[in-house]
Amino acid sequence: MESDPIFRQYRDKRIRLYERLDAVRSQVDEWIADHSKVWPELTDLARLEALHSERERLFADFQESENQFIDYVLKRRHD
């Protein structure tokens, strides 16, 4: 499968998605640490909401990518 361009694209996209998810997780961890002793301002809450929205989008992209790749592999096996 290594020579298949769809496989390489999937693998590369998967790596990027996990890197971005890890970056978002780190930003949320930092947000939590920054607000562990003080209630957040509205702008701080907006930042947290943006991070959660980004994470939701990444999960949706990840799931779509996984489904497309599985469909592609199944189709290739039947060809």
**Domain range for 29:** 5-78
DSSP assigned state of 36: S
Average pLDDT, the chain: 95
- What whole-number distance in Å separates Cα of residue 37 and Cα of residue 54? 25
Q: How many domains does the chain have?
A: 1
Which tokens go with 78?
């039947």
pTM score = 0.81
pLDDT (tens digit per residue) in 31-67: 999 999 999 999 999 999 999 999 999 999 999 999 9
Helix (H, G, I), strand (E, B) or coil at 35: coil
Asked if the model's pLDDT at residue 79 lies above 90, the reply is: no
For tokens 């640490």, the residue is: 33
Q: Could you tell me which residue, 10 or 79, shows the higher pLDDT?
A: 10
Mean pLDDT of 14-39: 96
